[in-house]
Structure 1
Amino acid sequence: MPTIYLSPSLQPFNKYLTTGDEQYWMNLIADDMVPLLEQNGITVKRNTPGTTLGQAIRESNAGNYDLHLALHSNAGPVNLAGKLRGPDVYYYPYSSAGKRAAEIIADNLRKIYPDPDLVSTVATTKLAEITKTSAPAVLVEIAYHDNPQDEAWIRNNIPLIAQNLAMSVCEYLGQNCAL
């Protein structure tokens, strides 16, 4: 049975423009993803609010997971605050499985994000959830929470985003999922 470690943001200090924060909204997406994955035979372990990043990485590394999937929303640097848009899907450049998962996720996000040209995959060696996890890892910055259009898109599309990400996980794992 395939297994994933689902790691929604542990960052309640990243406030959204209107209401809530990154941890709150990413946990709602994870909450919707878990039953979709489980009903399709995928075992899910996930972090919970209050877990530290180090604890989440250790939990992930303690299991034999087929994928470590981190869910986040982004914010631009001070000089570009509110100006950037679009999902960024990060992966470790030395992991062909991580890159494959990132490409599947990005391709599927292009089907639901309002401007598909703004969805990108990004190789990185700077994110702990990408470089310190044993399983192939992907960190999805779903959209920019400091941009009014992106923030509204996240808030108004939680079930759609969750279903899209669950479908991507199924595709990556080679599961024929009914979502």
Structure 2
Amino acid sequence: MPFIYLSPSTQEFNQYVTGGNEEQYMNLIADAMEPYLIASGIQFTRNTPQMTAASSIVQSNAGNYDLHLALHSNAAPAAMAGQVRGSDVYYYPTSARSRRAADIIAANLRDIYPIPSLVRTLPTTTIGEVARTRAPAVLIEFAYHDNVEDANWIKNNIEVIAQNVVLSLTEYFGIPFVTPQPILTGRVVTQGSPLNIRDYPSLEGNVITQAQNGDVITVVGEWQGWYVVHYNGRVGYASADYIDV
């Protein structure tokens, strides 16, 4: 199952023209993403506001992640402050996976950003969180926080943005997007045989582990007769027919 490094901005000094700051609002987006990530079976490690971009890179590189995702908002050069709008999604030019993730994220952002034509993907070899991570990486500049309309768009659409980004992640990883639900404790109920836990909600999915009859299992999401489950440190899909909740 996918495992990402989630890196909301640590730049509290970047003030929004409408009040608040970049670190604050990017962490609110990350907060809102978490239930969707959990329900959809995407595991994550997240940086903290006390960290920096450099320490986030170090922590990311110490793990084995399928994607490094940085969340930011933008600002125009001083001479153009407040005059620029748009969403930029940065990728590393020689990484096909980085570019593919950026393309998917940008395509979905066009569905929610007020001016779709101003959403674009851009290559970079200089942004550290894209160029210096072991995992393929994408950095999203959602909008310009020195522009009133863009700043208000971010502040008024935290949940919509979070849902949209997780939708993009599920498309990138090829798994279903699952709406959050209350996390439940279930019990495996079979005729005595083990319950297969798979990497995709289908009998064609690879078996990644098995739960035994009577075992306690955590249910974090549901999709078309399959539960997204946590069991013994593993995340996967199990048939809802064999779990009582």
**Distance in structure 2 (CA, Å) of the matches to 1:7 and 1:64:** 15
Q: SS in structure 1 opposite 2:60?
A: helix
Matched AA of 1:172: Y
Are positions 1:41 and 2:41 aligned together?
Answer: yes
Identify the residue that residue 21 of structure 2 maps to in structure 1.
21
How far the C-alpha of 1:36 sits from its partner, in A, is: 0.6
How far the C-alpha of 1:53 sits from its partner, in A, is: 1.6
Identify the residue that residue 188 of structure 2 maps to in structure 1.
none
**Distance in structure 2 (CA, Å) of the matches to 1:33 and 1:76:** 27
Q: SS in structure 2 opposite 1:41?
A: coil
**Distance in structure 1 (CA, Å) of the matches to 2:74 and 2:156:** 17
Larger Rg computed on CA atoms: 2
Task: Detail structure 1 runs of 4+ shifted over 4 Å in the superposition.
Answer: none
Identify the residue that residue 4 of structure 1 maps to in structure 2.
4
**Distance in structure 1 (CA, Å) of the matches to 2:71 and 2:14:** 13
Tell me the matched-pair count: 179
How far the C-alpha of 1:175 sits from its partner, in A, is: 1.1
Matched AA of 1:169: L
Identify the residue that residue 70 of structure 1 maps to in structure 2.
70
Identical-residue share of aligned pairs (%)? 59
**Distance in structure 2 (CA, Å) of the matches to 1:59 and 1:159:** 27
Gaps of 5+ in 1: none
Identify the residue that residue 162 of structure 1 maps to in structure 2.
162
Written as runs of structure 1 = structure 2, the 5 A alignment for 1:135-146 is 135-146=135-146
Deviations 1:45-102 (A, max 9, x none): 1101011222110111111111100000000001111111010000000100000000
Deviations 1:101-135 (A, max 9, x none): 00000000000001100000000111000000011
Q: SS in structure 1 opposite 2:141?
A: strand
How far the C-alpha of 1:176 sits from its partner, in A, is: 1.0
**Distance in structure 1 (CA, Å) of the matches to 2:34 and 2:173:** 15
Residues 9-18 or 50-59, more deviating = 50-59
**Distance in structure 1 (CA, Å) of the matches to 2:175 and 2:66:** 12
Identify the residue that residue 31 of structure 1 maps to in structure 2.
31
How far the C-alpha of 1:38 sits from its partner, in A, is: 1.1
**Distance in structure 1 (CA, Å) of the matches to 2:169 and 2:128:** 21
Identify the residue that residue 119 of structure 2 maps to in structure 1.
119
TM-score (norm: length of structure 1): 0.98
CA RMSD of aligned residues (A): 0.7
Select the structure that is richer in helix.
1
Written as runs of structure 1 = structure 2, the 5 A alignment for 1:97-108 is 97-108=97-108
Select the structure that is richer in strand.
2
How far the C-alpha of 1:19 sits from its partner, in A, is: 1.5
**Distance in structure 1 (CA, Å) of the matches to 2:29 and 2:52:** 19
Matched AA of 2:59: E
Identify the residue that residue 152 of structure 2 maps to in structure 1.
152
**Distance in structure 2 (CA, Å) of the matches to 1:55 and 1:61:** 10
Deviations 1:122-174 (A, max 9, x none): 00111000000011100000000000100000000000000000101111111
**Distance in structure 2 (CA, Å) of the matches to 1:148 and 1:80:** 13
Identify the residue that residue 95 of structure 1 maps to in structure 2.
95
